[in-house]
Amino acid sequence: MKTPLLLTLFLSFGLCVAQAQTGLEIMKKMDLESKALAESSFSVMSLTTCKFGKKQNRIRCIEQPRVKKMESAQLGTGAGKLDSKSISILLLPNSEKGIGMLSYSYDDPTKDTQSWLYLSALGKVKRMASGSDDEAEPTSVFGSEFTTEDMETGKVEEYSYRILKTTTFKKRPVWIIESVPNAERLKKTRYAKTILWVDQERYLALKIQTFDKRGKAYKQLAFSKVEQVTGHWMARSIVIINQQTNRLTKMSMEKIAPGVKIDEDFLSQRSLTDFAFREKHLDQLRKQMH
C-alpha cells in the first residue's frame, strides 16, 4: 500500500464533482496533497504500542504499552519534488536513544524504497529489505505496527481503483474506495486489497482497512484530531490495529513545523552514525520549530 497511512489526503467541491471523478483521479490528488504537506517538514512524534483485547466492546491495551518518542525530518526531492528523503531519530526511551532510520522513497514505480536502520548499541548501519522480494517481511518502524510501506507515498498508478459508494462517516461526506495492486505491485506488498473511507471536502482518509493475500482482514487504521496546517488537512493521531496479531500502535504528532529549511546532506547515512553532525542539523531544525 504505497500510500502512507498518516498522509492520505483528498479534496472535493461537492457531491456532483465527487461523482464525476474516478478513483484514480481522486488518488492522484491525494498523493499531491500529501506530498505538499510533507514537502519540507520537521516533527516530534510518539509511538505507543501494545497487545490489545476487547472489553465492553472497546479495544484496550492488556499489557504495559511501549512508548517511543522521535524527531523526524522529511524533504521532497527530485523532479517536481515527487521523491522524498526522511530520517527519524529516537529520543526515548533512554535505552534506545540515538537509534535512527533513514528512508528514500521514489515516485518511479521501478525504484523500490531504500531504508537503513542504525543501532546505536552496535554502532552499525543495516540496510533494510526493500519489499521487492515477496518473501521479505516489511520493515517495522521502531518495533511498531507501522511499516516503511505504510509510510510511503507515490506509485499511485500501480493500483486500480473503484469507488464503491458515497456515504457519510463520522458525520463527514466520504467516498469508499477500493484499491487493488497490479500484478507487479502485488509481488512487493503484503496488502492484496485496501478499502479507504475518504473525506470528500478535506482530502483526508478517515479510515483504512487492508486485506492480506488470503483475503483476510490485516490492518485497520483510524485517523483523528484533524486540523489544517499551511492550507492542508492532516490527522495528528493515527491508530493502526493489526487484526492478525492483536497488536496496535498509536502515532501522535506532538509538534510539526512545515516549510522548514533542511539541508539535504542531513538526510544521509552520516547523520545516523555521526552524533555531532546530526545534532548540529537537529539544533537548526529545533530552532525553526520554536
Could you tell me the residue range of the domain that residue 246 belongs to?
5-289
Give the mean model confidence (pLDDT) for residues 99-123: 88
For 136-205, what is the HEC assignment? CCCCECCCCCCECCCCCCCCHHHEEEEEEEEEEECCEEEEEEEEEECHHHHCCCCCCEEEEEEECCCCEE
Q: Rounded mean pLDDT of the chain?
A: 87
Residue 174's CATH number: 2.50.20.10
Query: What pLDDT, on the 0 to 100 scale, is given for residue 279?
Result: 97
User: How many Å separate Cα 237 from the centre of its chain?
Assistant: 12
Asked if pLDDT for residue 12 goes beyond 70, the answer is no
Express each pLDDT in 19-76 by its tens digit: 458 999 999 888 887 888 778 999 999 999 999 998 888 999 999 999 999 999 999 9
Express each pLDDT in 167-177 by its tens digit: 999 999 999 99
Asked if pLDDT for residue 262 goes beyond 50, the answer is yes
Express each pLDDT in 131-159 by its tens digit: 544 445 567 899 999 998 888 776 888 99
Asked if pLDDT for residue 13 goes beyond 50, the answer is no
Indicate the number of domains in the chain.
1
CA dihedral 267, 273, 276, 281 (to 10 degrees): 10
Query: What pLDDT, on the 0 to 100 scale, is given for residue 128?
Result: 82
Task: Say if residues 131 and 189 touch (Cβ distance below 8 Å).
Answer: yes
Of 7-21, 203-217, 224-238, which gets the smallest average pLDDT?
A: 7-21
Of 64-68, 126-130, 263-267, which gets the smallest average pLDDT?
A: 126-130
Residue 28 DSSP label: H
Strand-pair partners of 211? 193, 217
